[in-house]
Amino acid sequence: MELTCYRVGFLLCGDLPTAALMVSQESGLLGSTMTPKDKIKELVLYSISEDYFEARRAVGIQVG
């Protein structure tokens, strides 16, 4: 669930550096085992995934 929130935020803002900054400044969820570095890594991997490009198409945000 936590990663889904970050992914949606990134999808809507459309700016990876901004999304990564927000993730790094967040205090984190109680019980989360992920470090800010791990969360940003997952966000970067998502930014180059087919799932990301499909989500952009689904909401009408064209790539390129």
Looking at the domain assignment, is residue 64 inside a domain?
A: no
pTM of the model: 0.83
Q: What is the pLDDT of residues 41-56, one digit of tens each?
A: 999 999 999 999 999 9
Mean pLDDT of 37-43: 95
Looking at the chain, list the stretches that DSSP marks H as alpha helix, in order from N- to C-terminal side.
2-13, 16-25, 36-47, 50-58
Looking at the domain assignment, is residue 35 inside a domain?
A: yes
Looking at the domain assignment, is residue 63 inside a domain?
A: no
Looking at the domain assignment, is residue 32 inside a domain?
A: yes
Q: How many domains in the chain?
A: 1
The range of the structural domain enclosing residue 10 comes to 2-58
Contact 56, 62 (CB under 8 A): yes
